[in-house]
Amino acid sequence: MRVTDLRIYPVKSLAGDPVDEVPVEPWGLAGDRRWGLVDEAGEKVTAREEHALLGLRAEQIDEDTIRIHDRDGDSILVDTPLGLGPVPVSHSRQGFANPADEDVNWWIQERVGRPLRLVWQEDPTVRRVSGAHGGQDGDVLSLADAGPLLLTTWTSLAQLREWVGPEWAGEDEAVSMTRFRPNVVIDGAEPFAEDGWPTVWLGEVEFRLGEPCDRCVITQIHPETLTTGREPIATLARHRKWDGKTWFGTRLIPLGTGVLRVGDEVRPGR
């Protein structure tokens, strides 16, 4: 088995940035979800509430800079905040984050249609992985929902597409991998074999399975039109539902650091 795709999402809930290689840090892939959006009260805002966020794309320029693109070809550079005091945010176990410059907030507001503030997680070691999501002492994460890194497999997606049926034939985005927002995609495993891996080596880095990933309404948003449909949740609910949730992909927790590359060998633990 091999790693076929790598992607980071510099801003939580914005479209991501494909990469050929990326360092693995204790809290996830370098540059992944270190930025997020909050409203004027500091409550986190994601694409669950604002589908328009998926129409923006964040690109990692260097360690200190990202660029946010809209679909009209406009973009804005965003630097790591310096000299601005932290503001309260509602991300669980986070507490505070550093705000971006106000011109960035205005740029986003014009495209989303509501006041939002872009914030940066200065220290990812302050946010623990909850024990309810497979966390152990010392496990930390970015502003991601519940785990440092998400892995999916092409064979599991092929099985899901087969379950969905021929009514979606020819509509590539109906059940695309993009909807699941993975960091790592691999080939070659049996469908959903990843559910049962206690550990897995991706290239030179070993990971522990935190838990399978429960899926939300973001997967039902068409990545191009931003409209909402029934799939893939409707089909997952028939085949992959337990504990009142639907499941696709696995959340991984790094057991070390290194560099992850497209083409790396994948070796499940036993």
Rounded CA gap, 24 and 241, in Å? 31
Rounded CA gap, 143 and 12, in Å? 7
What's the whole-model pTM score? Answer: 0.94
| pLDDT of 170 higher than 70 | no
Contact predicate 18/7, CB 8 Å: yes
| pLDDT of 113 higher than 90 | yes
- The angle at the Cα of 219, spanning 218 to 223, to the nearest 5 degrees, equals 85
Contact predicate 50/80, CB 8 Å: no
Cis peptide bond prior to 232, omega within 30° of 0: yes
By percentage, how much of the chain surpasses pLDDT 70?
Answer: 97
Lowest mean pLDDT among 64-68, 81-85, 99-103, 261-265: 81-85
Cα 193 versus chain centre, distance: 21
Per-residue pLDDT tens digits for 175-203? 889 999 999 999 988 999 999 999 999 99
Q: Which two tokens stand for residue 154?
A: 């092409």
DSSP state letter for 237: H
Per-residue pLDDT tens digits for 74-94? 999 999 997 778 999 999 899
Could you list the residue range(s) of the whole structural domain that residue 79 is in? 3-268
Phi, psi angle pair for 224, to nearest 5°: -100, -50
DSSP state letter for 196: G
Domain count within the chain: 1
Rounded CA gap, 41 and 53, in Å? 19
Map tokens 């997606």 to a residue.
157
127-144 burial code (b ≥16 CB/10 A, e <16): bebeeebbbeeebbbbbb
- The angle at the Cα of 268, spanning 25 to 236, to the nearest 5 degrees, equals 90
What's the farthest any 2 CA atoms get from each other in the chain? 55
**Domain holding 38: CATH number?**
2.40.33.20
Phi, psi angle pair for 172, to nearest 5°: -60, -35
What would you report as the CA-atom Rg of the chain, rounded to the nearest whole angstrom?
Answer: 18
Rounded CA gap, 95 and 42, in Å? 10
